[in-house]
């Protein structure tokens, strides 16, 4: 009887599911993975000897991310292994395990996530957790996140948790607890009368707090550090304005040398966009705004907020020689950009038109004066400094003028020309104390010639001229691709202007790779020059090396 | 009996969960991202009246991505006329350059829709690792093809698949 009853109940239940294409077919598993392996060799020219490598011939970074979804429910995990980490990654990553584990339930009106999650409030000035594999960076919050949209146009978010610190488990207050709340309202959605308006207005605000017990033997530390921010985005026809201001109460830390000054950050952007033309300007000021969930940490870890560097992100080999990173203790600057497409069939534009873009950015130190008569600027245990909000300090951190021209000559041949002028405070940004300001001129020609419908040859010629640092460089690249599967690339960067005769080194590499849909395998052999790899404003130092590197990645 | 009640409840729950799913417009995860006006846009709203959709993840710092989108833009009028395909370019630029995307897109004169995913929420939900990463969705909103990297001429391959999808051919074997 019971069995019969159960059968009847089951058959009733399954009917709607069969109509819904069966409930198993509604569940889905997908994910991605990447394996990066390095084999290091000794190289006398780079000063790498067998004794330096000393048993560390191999580096291996790998991850696999798996997501399971069933209707509104989803769950996932990420396995990571650094056995040992590739040179240039934080040694604290050494190890392996489940780095990320979460489950969430999402409907049109709300979403709840338990476990490790990523979140950003506004521009991230008060809170941003994210992961960047190429840097070994992950500041995920482990805890709970709740997102609620009571009516269309209003989104409320609440987060609570502790951040990832490599493989170190959270226990006994060994780092801070982060709580945050964010609200965003889109007036066009909320007020019926505005839904068709040409004025689009979104307002937002956030409050974040970190709790960390006082473990400093010298200073009385605030246990709760709160940060607040307000923001808007306003679109009027072809104009768009957005701004965010964030404020943080006093937060003495190893980064700011334990001063008690409150922090602030401000970003204002304006743009004008019309068919074929975009103009953009931005102002930014940061004053003592490092915000980490452990006040003693100075490395790239445990950041609660994100201070975006507002300069052009360069990817060409020599253009990436002097990358800028936000100075969290203070910077003030601006950026202006123009993107223009010279129309098709005009005299200069030719048959296909021509793209022109100009970008100028400048970042200075903020202007500082001593906090009082008895203390010096930045002295531990004091208010640190006084600073006028709009006054530029005399010290220039970085200037960057980039002019780029894209031109397609005919169906087969197109090219990009780029000129860059940079001023770079290498002493402050890279910590090369005592070294003079770098002034560099960089020119790049990138040409692509289509040999057949799926075969193309691409080559780059680059030059960097400077009297400072390591002097002049020349670089070349040649690449052959067969779409959609194959590529072969050879590159060389030559430091011909180095003052030391034995440091006039060729950094050559040879690579080839194969792609099948989303699966990709690439093998590179050659020399890596010492430098800084930056992605999205976070940078890591890469030591010089010589050897093989293998990357296998995929997504399914 | 207890066991039956338990099974009943569990199935009821899953039945509820799955039936909730019936009215969904596509098979993409539900993620709130932004459009270029700064307004929230839910990825469930991506639709094209039963015609194919190309979703391409890109960023201002990714030169091959921009080449791929340029190549699509050069062909977009023809492609739309022939198959009704819609292209959606999802920028994963973070706060460093999200405000630069709109003037860049205008300067490029791209005709397709561009969305902003500044903290990679949609990117992660779609298991995107390297960019460019391009998806093709069929008329039912199902992913039938995906590809990472761009080499000169890839647009021809992409369009061949779009044509097949538009004519109702099953191409999921390419996935």
What Rg, from alpha-carbon coordinates, does chain B have?
Answer: 18
Measured between CA atoms, how close is B82 to chain A, in angstroms?
A: 21
Q: Does A120 touch chain B (CB under 8 A)?
A: yes
Q: Does A134 touch chain B (CB under 8 A)?
A: no
**Residue A220 predicted with pLDDT over 80:** yes
A311 pLDDT band (50/70/90 cuts)? confident
Domain that holds residue B131: 26-174
Position B138 in a domain: yes
Question: A333 is written with which tokens?
Answer: 């600057």
Which residues in chain B have Cβ-Cβ distances shorter than 8 Å to A276?
106-107, 109
Q: Which of A228-232, A411-415, A536-540 has the highest mean pLDDT?
A: A228-232
**Residue A8 predicted with pLDDT over 80:** no
Distance CA A454, CA A483 (A): 5
Question: A371 is written with which tokens?
Answer: 């906090």
The pLDDT of residue B125 is: 95
Contact assessment for residue B107 and residue A357, using Cβ atoms and an 8 Å cutoff? yes
Question: Who contacts A342 (Cβ-Cβ below 8 Å, separation ≥6)?
Answer: A348, A349, A353, A354, A355, A356
Position B129 in a domain: yes
Read off the CATH number of the domain in which B168 is found. Answer: 3.40.30.10
Position B17 in a domain: no
Work out the burial of residue A434: count CB atoms within 10 Å of its CB; fewer than 13 is exposed, 13-18 middle, 19 or more buried: exposed
The residue written with tokens 């001129």 in the block is A441
Beta strand A392-408 pairing with A354-366: antiparallel
Q: Give chain B's residues under pLDDT 70.
A: 1-25, 172-175
Nearest to A244 by CA among B127, B43, B56, B38: B38
| Pairwise CB contact (< 8 Å): A124 & B154 | no
Q: Tell me if the bond preceding B54 is cis, omega within 30° of 0.
A: no
CA distances, A480 to each of A170, B134, B158 (Å):
49, 22, 20
- Residues A113-138 have pLDDT tens digits of 999 999 999 999 999 999 999 889 99
Position B165 in a domain: yes
Q: Which of A5, A23, A553 sits opposite B14 (nearest CB)?
A: A23
The pLDDT of residue A15 is: 43
Position B9 in a domain: no
Distance CA A7, CA A9 (A): 5
Q: Which one of A32, A188, A355 makes the best mutation probe of the B interface by having the most chain B beta carbons within 10 Å? A: A32
Contact assessment for residue A103 and residue A113, using Cβ atoms and an 8 Å cutoff? yes
Residues B153, B159, B163: CA angle, nearest 5 degrees: 155
Q: Which of A70, A357, A487 sits opposite B151 (nearest CB)?
A: A487
- Residues A222-267 have pLDDT tens digits of 999 999 999 999 999 999 999 999 999 999 999 999 999 999 999 9
What Rg, from alpha-carbon coordinates, does chain A have?
Answer: 27
Ranges of beta strands (E only) in A135-287 are 137-138, 141-148, 154-163, 177-186, 199-211, 224-236, 239-248, 263-274, 277-287
Q: Does A309 touch chain B (CB under 8 A)?
A: yes
- Structural domains in chain A plus CATH codes: 1-42+51-103 (no CATH), 107-308 (2.40.160.10)
Position B1 in a domain: no
The pLDDT of residue A440 is: 98
End-to-end CA distance of chain B: 45
Instruction: Report the chain A residue with the minimal C-alpha distance to residue B17.
Output: A71
Other CB atoms within a 10 A radius of the CB of residue A391 amount to: 12
Position B124 in a domain: yes
| Pairwise CB contact (< 8 Å): B127 & A67 | yes
Position B21 in a domain: no
> How many domains are contained in chain B?
1
């Amino acid at each position: 009887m019971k069995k019969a009853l159960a059968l009847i109940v089951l058959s009733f239940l399954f009917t709607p599911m069969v109509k819904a294409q069966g409930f198993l077919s509604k569940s889905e598993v997908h994910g991605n993975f990447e394996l990066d392996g390095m084999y290091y060799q000794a190289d006398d020219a780079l000063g790498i000897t067998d004794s330096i490598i000393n048993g560390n011939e191999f580096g291996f970074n790998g991850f696999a991310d798996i997501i399971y979804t069933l209707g509104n429910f989803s769950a996932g995990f990420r396995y990571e292994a650094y056995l040992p980490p590739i040179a240039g990654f934080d040694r604290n990553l050494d190890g392996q395990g489940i780095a990320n584990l979460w489950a969430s339930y999402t409907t049109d009106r709300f979403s709840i996530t338990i476990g490790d999650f990523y979140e950003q409030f506004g521009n991230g000035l008060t809170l941003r957790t994210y992961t960047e594999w190429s840097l070994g960076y992950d500041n995920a919050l482990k805890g709970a996140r709740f997102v609620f949209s009571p009516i269309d146009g209003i989104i409320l978010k609440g987060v609570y948790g502790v951040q990832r610190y490599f493989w170190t488990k959270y226990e006994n207050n060994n780092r801070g607890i982060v709580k945050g709340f964010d609200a965003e309202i889109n007036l066009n959605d909320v007020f019926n009368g505005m839904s068709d308006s040409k004025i689009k207005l979104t307002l937002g605000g956030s409050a974040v707090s970190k709790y960390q017990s006082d473990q400093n033997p010298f200073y009385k530390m605030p246990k709760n550090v709160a940060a607040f921010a307000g923001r808007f985005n306003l679109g009027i026809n072809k104009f768009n304005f957005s701004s965010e201001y964030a404020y943080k109460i006093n937060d003495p830390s190893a980064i700011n040398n334990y001063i008690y000054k409150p922090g602030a950050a401000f970003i204002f952007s304006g743009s004008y966009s019309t068919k074929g033309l975009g103009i953009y300007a931005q102002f930014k000021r940061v004053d003592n705004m490092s915000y980490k969930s452990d006040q003693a940490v100075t490395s790239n870890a445990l950041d609660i907020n994100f201070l975006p560097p507002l300069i052009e992100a360069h990817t060409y080999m020599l253009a990436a020689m002097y990358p800028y990173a936000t100075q969290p203790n203070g910077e003030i600057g601006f950026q202006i950009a123009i993107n223009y497409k010279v129309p098709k069939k005009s005299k200069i534009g030719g048959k296909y038109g021509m793209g022109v873009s100009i970008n100028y950015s400048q970042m200075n130190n903020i202007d500082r004066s001593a906090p009082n008569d008895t203390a010096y600027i930045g002295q531990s245990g004091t208010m640190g400094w006084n600073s006028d909000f709009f006054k530029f300090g005399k010290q220039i951190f970085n200037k960057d003028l980039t002019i780029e021209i894209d031109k397609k000559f005919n169906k087969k041949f197109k090219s990009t020309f780029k000129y860059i002028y940079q001023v770079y405070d290498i002493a402050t940004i890279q910590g090369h104390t005592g070294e003079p300001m770098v002034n560099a001129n960089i020119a790049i020609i990138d040409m692509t010639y289509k040999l057949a419908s799926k075969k193309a040859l691409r080559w780059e010629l680059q030059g960097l001229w400077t009297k400072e640092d390591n002097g002049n460089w020349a670089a070349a690249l040649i690449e052959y691709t067969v779409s959609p599967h194959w590529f072969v690339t050879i590159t060389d960067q030559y430091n011909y202007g180095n003052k030391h005769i034995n440091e006039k080194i060729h950094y050559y590499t040879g690579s080839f790779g194969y792609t099948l849909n989303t699966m990709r395998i690439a093998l590179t052999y050659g020399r890596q020059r010492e430098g800084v790899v930056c992605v999205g404003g976070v940078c890591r130092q890469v030591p010089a090396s010589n050897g093989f590197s293998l990357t296998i990645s995929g997504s399914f | 009996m207890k066991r039956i009640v338990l099974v009943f409840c569990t199935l009821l729950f899953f039945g509820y969960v799955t039936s909730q799913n019936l009215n969904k417009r596509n098979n993409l995860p539900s993620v709130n991202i932004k459009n270029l006006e700064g307004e929230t846009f839910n990825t469930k709203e991506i639709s094209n009246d039963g015609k194919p959709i190309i979703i391409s993840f890109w960023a201002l710092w990714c030169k091959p991505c921009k080449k791929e989108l340029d190549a699509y833009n050069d062909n977009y009028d023809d492609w739309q006329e022939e198959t009704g395909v819609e292209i959606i370019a999802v920028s994963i630029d973070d706060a460093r350059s999200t405000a630069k995307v709109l003037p860049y897109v205008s300067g490029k004169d791209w005709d397709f829709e561009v969305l902003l995913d500044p903290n990679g929420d949609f990117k992660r939900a779609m298991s995107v690792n390297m960019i460019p990463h391009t998806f093709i969705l069929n008329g039912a909103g199902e992913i039938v093809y995906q590809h990472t990297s761009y080499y000169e001429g890839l647009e021809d391959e992409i369009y061949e698949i779009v044509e097949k999808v538009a004519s109702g051919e099953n191409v999921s074997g390419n996935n």
